């Protein structure tokens, strides 16, 4: 991954965060997915995908985001919360 891709991924996460705050969950999901495609190790993209999927009633996006977050950040700040939420989704 290039530095440009990493920087673009972070920009996409910021755009996704803005869309999420505006309540535009479908757009947030799209942006977080794009960020994850640019940087497959970017935990913020997966956390955002999880949050937007949960808020927007897109269980598939929430599960993918949560699962991938735990894969790249198993001890991350939000890992326990995401683990518990995923357990409830099953």
pLDDT band at 55 (very low <50, low <70, confident <90, very high): very high
At a CB cut-off of 8 Å and minimum separation 6, what does 44 contact?
A: 10, 13, 35
Number of folded domains that form the chain: 1
pLDDT band at 83 (very low <50, low <70, confident <90, very high): very high
Domain hosting 55: range is 3-89
Tell me the CATH number at 43: 1.25.40.10
pTM of the model: 0.94
At a CB cut-off of 8 Å and minimum separation 6, what does 63 contact?
A: 53, 86, 89
- 40-54: average pLDDT: 97
- b/e per residue 36-66 (b: at least 16 CB within 10 A): bebbeebbbbbbbbbbbbbebebeebbbbbb
When the pLDDT of each residue in the chain is averaged and rounded to a whole number, the result is: 96
pLDDT digit string, tens, across residues 1-45? 688 888 999 999 999 999 999 999 999 999 999 999 999 999 999
3-state SS class at 42:
coil
């Amino acid at each position: 991954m290039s530095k440009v891709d990493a920087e673009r991924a972070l920009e996409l996460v910021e755009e996704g965060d803005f869309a999420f705050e505006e309540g535009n969950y479908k757009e947030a999901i799209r942006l977080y997915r794009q960020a994850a495609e640019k940087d497959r190790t970017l935990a913020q993209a997966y956390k955002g995908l999880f949050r937007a999927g949960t808020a927007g009633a897109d269980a598939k996006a929430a599960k993918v985001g949560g699962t991938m977050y735990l894969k790249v950040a198993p001890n991350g700040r939000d890992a326990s919360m995401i683990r518990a939420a995923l357990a409830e989704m099953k």
